[in-house]
């Protein structure tokens, strides 16, 4: 122990740091001596009654002995109080922190890039799904209108020419070409789909009155509450 204290006392550095280190070594040495003294007081009977406790104390004593030997061969490292040295040490520490932060930033940026790519992929997938649904709806609408047209052409043939001029006083007026019931329904459907906020269609002489009455009777179309010349398709989809 004397050699250890002598070597520490010869090391360069501030006096306060040396004294603090010497006191710490002295404290450790006293603890070792106290442990060794307690071990010497243990008798044979105590060993038989508390073998586990004695084994633990022996391990602690051996650990302290190894630590004491290490202190004997190691010169204490004392940080210099020179401003230039402290400045360089501070620069090194800041550079290390900067490097760690740059590594963290790089990792976060990579994660953000991956999240952005995943988000774009989800957007494209959702857009493709919506596009496919629209195509399917348009195809279904086309098929539905085609089937409706075949049914109406079979059961509701186009009105004969001149039907709209019957019972009129003047026979010299040019005949207005009447549209089929299929065309009437298609006009109403397109109006409802394109402008659902204003689904009404203004009818004219090309709309054959018997067809209009038929659609009204079966509840397929509704008149505007303030204008009987305006019709709308019943919103069956709501």
Q: For tokens 């085609």, what's the residue?
A: 146
Q: Report residue 155: phi and psi, to 5°.
A: -100, -20
Tens digit of pLDDT at every position of the chain (238 positions):
444 444 444 444 445 665 666 677 677 777 767 766 666 665 544 444 455 556 666 777 777 777 767 766 666 555 566 777 778 878 888 888 888 888 888 888 888 888 888 888 888 888 888 889 999 988 987 888 788 778 888 888 777 765 555 545 545 555 678 898 888 988 998 899 899 899 999 999 999 999 999 999 989 999 999 999 999 998 776 5
Domain ranges, ordered by start, for the chain: 2-78, 81-155, 158-165+175-233
């Amino acid at each position: 122990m004397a050699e250890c204290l002598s070597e520490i006392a010869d090391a360069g550095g501030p006096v306060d740091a040396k004294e603090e280190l010497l006191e710490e070594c002295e404290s450790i040495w006293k603890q070792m001596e106290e442990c060794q003294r307690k071990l010497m007081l243990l008798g044979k009977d105590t060993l038989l009654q508390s073998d586990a406790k004695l084994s633990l104390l022996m391990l602690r004593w051996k650990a302290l002995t190894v630590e004491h030997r290490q202190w004997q061969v190691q010169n204490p490292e004392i940080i210099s109080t020179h401003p230039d040295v402290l400045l360089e040490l501070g620069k090194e520490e800041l550079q290390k922190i900067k490097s760690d932060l740059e590594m963290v930033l790089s990792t976060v940026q990579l994660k953000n890039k991956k999240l952005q790519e995943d988000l774009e992929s989800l957007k494209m997938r959702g857009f493709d799904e919506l596009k496919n649904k629209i195509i399917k709806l348009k195809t279904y609408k086309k098929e539905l209108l085609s089937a409706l047209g075949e049914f109406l052409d079979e059961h509701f043939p186009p009105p004969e020419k001149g039907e709209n001029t019957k019972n009129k006083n003047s026979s010299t007026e040019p005949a207005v070409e009447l549209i089929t019931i299929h065309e009437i329904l298609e006009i109403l459907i397109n109006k409802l789909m394109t402008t659902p906020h204003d689904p009404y269609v203004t009818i004219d002489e090309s709309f054959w009155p018997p067809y209009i009455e038929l659609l009204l009777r079966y509840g397929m179309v509704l008149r505007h509450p303030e204008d009987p010349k305006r019709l709308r398709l019943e919103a069956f989809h709501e």
